[in-house]
């Protein structure tokens, strides 16, 4: 067996910029305002950064889902935990936008209309893959049949909530028993709590997002046609894993 020598630096064409396609990446921020408003770059970069993280989250969730299907409890938890850590930093990131004065946003907001967060396919994929499947959101992708197809596949495909419940059945476990006696079912308990944390941080993201939105546009209508803040507030209590939240009401102090 031959061992491979580490490549000497500079021995190939591959460098930081080639590998990461940095020049390509830096070409992708194209303001709509003309002349470009100073703050539009912030607005574009923050959305693109979120979309990149969403891509990674989907990648990690797909692995977690496969591992849940294979009853590999701790291995699945490893990936869910990573998603939680990503979300932990995605929540405070939204506040960078509060450095944008409402009056500055108005200088280019009209140019974005009718583009809207409603059209973030990856955000919807993420919800669908977790198990929060609301078909009504497909309506916002009418002009993008390729995205409708992706989302329809996610709707019809496996999701973490259903697969988790299937795994519990195969293992002969009730959620209540796991939460009543966490130490007896430690691995499943850890996975369950990571899924709860996922819900927690997604919910926190929604809450922080709506607060930022209120601060910047008040109660104006959204560019996607919703009522804006009132609609967004109505989403903050959504849960991907309701069974894992409901169990809290069923526990007793008896061991
Ligand atoms: C100035 C900053 C922002 C404003 C004023 C804003 C405003 C809004 C409004 C009003 C909605 C409701 C839908 C509509 O009618 O358009 C919405 C939805 C949404 N926004 Fe934002 N947003 C901002 C920043 C962001 C950022 C940085 C992201 C990151 C990806 C984001 C992602 C989303 C998503 C995913 C939705 C759909 C939420 C759902 O339906 O549950 N938004 N936004």
Residue 223 Cβ < 6 Å to ligand 1: yes
What three-state secondary structure class fits 226? coil
Q: Which atom of ligand 1 is nearest to the CA of 124?
A: 35
Kindly report the pTM of this predicted structure.
Answer: 0.95
Give, in order, the Cα–Cα distances in Å from 125 to each of 37, 164, 174, 180, 225. 32, 18, 28, 33, 21
CB 239 within 8 A of CB 132: yes
**What's the pLDDT tens digit per position in 46-62?**
999 999 999 999 999 99
CA of 118 to the centre of ligand 1 (A): 7
According to the model, what pLDDT value does residue 9 have?
64
CA dist 155 and 131 (Å) reads: 9
127-170, pLDDT tens digit by residue?
A: 999 999 999 999 999 999 999 999 999 999 999 999 999 999 99
Residues 234-250: pLDDT tens digits?
A: 999 999 999 999 999 99
Cα–Cα distance measured from residue 49 to residue 33, given in angstroms and rounded to the nearest whole number: 20
pLDDT 10s digits, 53-110: 999 999 999 999 999 999 999 999 999 999 999 999 999 999 999 999 999 999 999 9
Q: Which of 193, 168, 163 is nearest to 69 (CA)?
A: 163
What percent of the chain stands above pLDDT 70? 96
Distance 46 CA to ligand 1 centre (A): 12
The rounded distance, in Å, linking the Cα atoms of 188 and 169 is 12
Among candidate residues 156, 107, 117, the one with its CA nearest the CA of residue 137: 117
Q: What is the mean pLDDT of residues 182-201?
A: 98
Instruction: Report whether residue 203 contacts ligand 1, using a CB cutoff of 6 Å.
Output: no
Please, where are the H alpha helices in the chain?
16-20, 22-25, 40-69, 73-93, 102-112, 121-130, 145-156, 160-170, 175-180, 186-217, 229-235, 242-250
User: Is the distance from CB of 111 to CB of 33 less than 8 angstroms?
Assistant: yes
For a pocket test of ligand 1, which of 32, 55, 112, 117 has the largest count of ligand atoms closer than 8 A to its C-beta?
A: 117
State if residue 225 touches ligand 1 by the CB under 6 angstroms criterion.
yes
pLDDT at 254: 80
Name which residue sits closest to atom 3 of ligand 1, judged by CA: 213
Rounded (10°) CA dihedral 74, 75, 79, 81:
20
Domains, the chain, ranges and CATH? Answer: 36-119+157-243 (1.20.58.480)
Structure tokens at 55: 């891509």
Residues 209-219: b if buried by 16+ CB within 10 A, e if exposed: bbbbbbebbee
Q: How far apart are CA 215 and CA 208, in angstroms?
A: 11
**pLDDT, position 1:** 44
Distance from the alpha carbon of residue 123 to the mean position of ligand 1, in angstroms: 11
Q: What is the pLDDT of residue 13?
A: 80
pLDDT of residue 143: 94
Beta-carbon contacts of residue 239 (< 8 Å; ≥ 6 apart):
132, 199, 203, 245
């Amino acid at each position: 067996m031959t061992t491979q020598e580490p490549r000497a630096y500079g021995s190939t064409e591959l460098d930081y910029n080639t590998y990461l396609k940095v020049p390509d990446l830096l070409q992708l921020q194209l303001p709509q305002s003309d002349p470009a408003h100073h703050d539009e770059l912030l607005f574009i970069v923050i959305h693109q950064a979120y979309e990149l993280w969403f891509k990674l989250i989907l990648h990690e969730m797909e692995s977690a889902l496969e591992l849940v299907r294979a009853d590999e409890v701790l291995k699945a938890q490893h990936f869910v935990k990573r998603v939680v850590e990503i979300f932990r930093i995605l929540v405070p990131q939204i506040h960078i936008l509060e450095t944008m004065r409402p009056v500055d946003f108005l200088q280019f907001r009209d140019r974005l209309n009718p583009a809207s967060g409603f059209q973030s396919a990856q955000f919807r994929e993420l919800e669908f893959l977790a198990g929060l499947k609301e078909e009504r959101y497909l309506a916002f992708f009418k002009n993008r049949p390729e995205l409708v197809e992706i989302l329809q596949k996610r709707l019809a495909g496996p999701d973490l909530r259903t697969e988790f419940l299937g795994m519990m059945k195969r293992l002969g476990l009730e959620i209540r028993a796991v939460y009543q006696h966490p130490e007896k079912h430690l691995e499943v308990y850890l996975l369950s709590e990571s899924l709860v944390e996922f819900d927690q941080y997604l919910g926190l993201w929604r809450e922080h997002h709506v607060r930022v939105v209120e601060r910047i546009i008040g109660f104006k209508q959204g560019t996607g046609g919703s009522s804006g803040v009132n609609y967004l507030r109505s989403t903050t209590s959504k849960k991907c894993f309701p069974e894992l939240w409901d169990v809290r009401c069923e526990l007793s102090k008896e061991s």
